Amino acid sequence: NAGVTQTPKFRVLKTGQSMTLLCAQDMNHEYMYWYRQDPGMGLRLIHYSVGEGTTAKGEVPDGYNVSRLKKQNFLLGLESAAPSQTSVYFCASSWTRYEQYFGPGTRLTVT
Amino acid sequence: QQPVQSPQAVILREGEDAVINCSSSKALYSVHWYRQKHGEAPVFLMILLKGGEQKGHEKISASFNEKKQQSSLYLTASQLSYSGTYFCGTDRPAGNMLTFGGGTRLMVKP
């Protein structure tokens, strides 16, 4: 089992560009999450999903959109990137609201 | 609201003990603990669901005082492999999401 995978691992964007981050899990988990982690700080929840076709806002949803068309995939979109969105993005999944399994992260730089 | 962790950083020698605290101003359903090594993803350590419950993971244990909305992580006889940043995540009764604290950076030296 690959667990949770994220694509891409690194990305550099210019202000105003758009991109989509892909998260995939092969554990048949219902719950999936997108977090951002800024240097020296904790994880902040952007959006999450409790099942295929559902999404909900987390703590810091502004500037991001998500979709969960298939149970195993959770996509995070940035429509118009801003320097404030420079961060490391982690995807996670879980059976219920408990133990979360994290992907390796995507390091995004917006110039 | 983000839970508060203390201390922010601690340096230990191998074999020493440490306690990391996590407190919230809101009623909690559960407390989760994760460890993140530099440049890696967070890894789940344990979850505490009820007040006063203690759990263990090797030489790492934790307690959860539901009434005080506090949790403590106990690391005994620390090993070099314990180095990393420890995060608590709190879960409210009506929620489906964790709110993480700012982290405690732990460094174990030989």
The SS3 call for residue B95 is coil
Residue B51's pLDDT is 57
- B3/A contact by beta carbon, under 8 A: no
pLDDT in tens, chain B (110 residues): 789 999 999 999 999 999 999 999 888 888 999 999 999 999 999 888 865 566 666 789 998 888 888 999 999 999 999 999 999 999 877 677 889 999 999 999 99
> B89 is written with which tokens?
């995540």
Task: Write the DSSP symbol of residue B51.
Answer: T
Is A48–B96 a contact, with Cβ atoms under 8 angstroms apart?
yes
Name every residue whose Cβ is closer than 8 Å to that of residue A45 and which is 6 or more positions away in sequence: A33, A34, A35, A58, A59, A60, B97, B98, B99
Give the distance from residue B59's alpha carbon to the nearest chain A alpha carbon, in angstroms. 20
Residue B28's pLDDT is 81
Is A42–B101 a contact, with Cβ atoms under 8 angstroms apart?
yes
How many CB pairs lie under 8 A apart between chains A and B? 51
Name every residue whose Cβ is closer than 8 Å to that of residue B43 and which is 6 or more positions away in sequence: A102, B34, B35, B36
